[in-house]
Amino acid sequence: MEASPATLSATLGHWASVGGLGLLCAAWGANLLKMLRGDVQPPEVSLTADTAPDPLPEPCPSLTVLIPARNEASNIEACVRSILDAGWPGPLEIVAIDDRSTDGTGDILARIAGSERRLSVVQGADPPPGWLGKPHALHLGQAAATGDWLLFLDADVRVTPGGLQRLLGRVIAQEAEMASALGRLTVESFWERVVQTRMGAVIAGGNPLPEVNDPEHERALANGQCLLFRRDAYDRLGGHAAIKGSVLDDVDFAKRAKQEKVRYRLYYGPAVFSCRMYTGLNEIWQGWTKNLFPALGYSLIATAIVTLLLFASSLLPFVLLAKNLAYLAAGLPFEPLFLGLEAVACGLILATDAVGHRTHGYRWGLFWTFPLGMLIVLAVFWNSAWRIKSGRGAVWKGRVVEGGPKA
């Protein structure tokens, strides 16, 4: 007897669901195996504690480190001291830009500069029309820089001993002109551990370093916490004037580097620096709100696609498993095959999360918060789209820093 269209459709849907869950289990299983092998990043783009520094040329090039500082009294001294203690073997200068701080940042910088000749302080100014605060502050700072290489660091960065030599040595050995690094993410509060680690995994997973470092590939990513330029390459790219209105100055520099054929590298660099980006849920929410929608080209379609894929690959198995467990508890009919596949998928996801946390030195025991963390990640994506698309704008440190694409 020939099956009815409805029966055929149900059968196809059943096996499509089985196949989808099976593929999801296979993908997470492969990811878990990769984590267990320690095969995280290719060695040529890894700067870890086990990485031997590449030799620097003789004479050692001069380096200028530039730090924008707006109300960074809690961070700025530790940042400056970490640079001074990093052991750069060549000429070193630090240019800190006090970007109209009101919390004593300027006093701290003045005190350090009084006893440390390698530190100079540039006073920030209100940005002209079309400029955002951070690009303008760095534009002012670079005018005072004399180094062969310019390294732009955020004030919440802590440079690792030997980190400067490890980064520049690799960049020079690979004949790059611009570089960035993904340092070690420092997390201390509960919400940092729940959200920041998962957001970091989403960004890293969506931007494979071999593709980012391929000059012919369109994928471009950089980390504004740590941007390195050979001086002449920075000038050829137009400096910060070329990205003056960008909240994603790092990514836009990477895009320009590929367009202008400036050799660029992005490294996995936990032995270069560490950074505690945000200190709690409110900062996490506001910080990522200003970045995520611009990172997706201000596109609602791209936001929908990315969040749908993230939901399907990370949260849907938990939703389906909860539904079938509820059916089981209530004595309602359910499909045992689906329950088994969903349980395997959820187990692989949580195991991968735990191993990943342990590999990167985080508290692996919080693996059970994975669904909560990913739910917040998805919510921030849509909050970013809503705030910017509606014209309300994203707010950071009391200022609207992202109101939407510029005409």
Phi/psi for 75 (5° steps) reads: -120, -35
> How many domains does the chain fold into?
2
Tell me the per-residue pLDDT of 42-58, one tens digit each, with 9 for 90 and over: 889 999 998 888 999 99
* Backbone Cα Rg of the chain: 24
130 in any annotated domain: yes
Are 321 and 339 in contact, with CB atoms under 8 Å apart? yes
Shared-domain flag, residues 247 and 99: yes
Are 273 and 160 in contact, with CB atoms under 8 Å apart? yes
What share of the chain in percent tops pLDDT 90? Answer: 76
Question: Between 330 and 225, where is the model more confident?
Answer: 225
13 in any annotated domain: no
pLDDT for the residue 13: 66
pLDDT for the residue 10: 64
59 in any annotated domain: yes
Tell me the per-residue pLDDT of 261-304, one tens digit each, with 9 for 90 and over: 999 999 999 999 999 999 889 999 999 999 899 999 899 999 99
Between CA 308 and CA 139 the distance in angstroms is 39
Are 213 and 255 in contact, with CB atoms under 8 Å apart? no
4 in any annotated domain: no
Tell me the per-residue pLDDT of 94-125, one tens digit each, with 9 for 90 and over: 999 999 999 999 999 999 999 999 999 999 99
CATH number of the domain at 83, please.
3.90.550.10
Distance separating the N- and C-terminal Cα atoms of the chain: 64
289 in any annotated domain: no
Between CA 276 and CA 267 the distance in angstroms is 18
Cα–Cα nearest to 72, from 36, 124, 136 = 124
Shared-domain flag, residues 267 and 317: no
| Encoded tokens for 279 | 């200190």
Shared-domain flag, residues 134 and 153: yes
**Distances in Å between the alpha carbon of 277 and those of 145, 216, 307?**
26, 31, 23
Shared-domain flag, residues 255 and 365: no
Q: How many CB atoms lie within 10 A of CB 293?
A: 29
Task: Answer yes or no: is pLDDT of 191 > 70.
Answer: yes
373 in any annotated domain: yes
Shared-domain flag, residues 357 and 335: yes
What average pLDDT does the structure give for the chain?
A: 91
Shared-domain flag, residues 30 and 67: no
Between CA 225 and CA 157 the distance in angstroms is 7
Which of the four pLDDT bands, split at 50, 70 and 90, describes residue 129?
very high
Shared-domain flag, residues 136 and 272: yes
233 in any annotated domain: yes
Are 56 and 169 in contact, with CB atoms under 8 Å apart? yes
206 in any annotated domain: no
Shared-domain flag, residues 160 and 263: yes
Look up the domain containing 91 and give its range: 48-183+223-279
Which of the four pLDDT bands, split at 50, 70 and 90, describes residue 402?
low
Shared-domain flag, residues 232 and 355: no
Question: Between 11 and 156, where is the model more confident?
Answer: 156
Which of the four pLDDT bands, split at 50, 70 and 90, describes residue 14?
low
Classified as helix, coil or strand, 148 is coil
Shared-domain flag, residues 322 and 385: yes
Shared-domain flag, residues 265 and 383: no
Shared-domain flag, residues 250 and 396: no
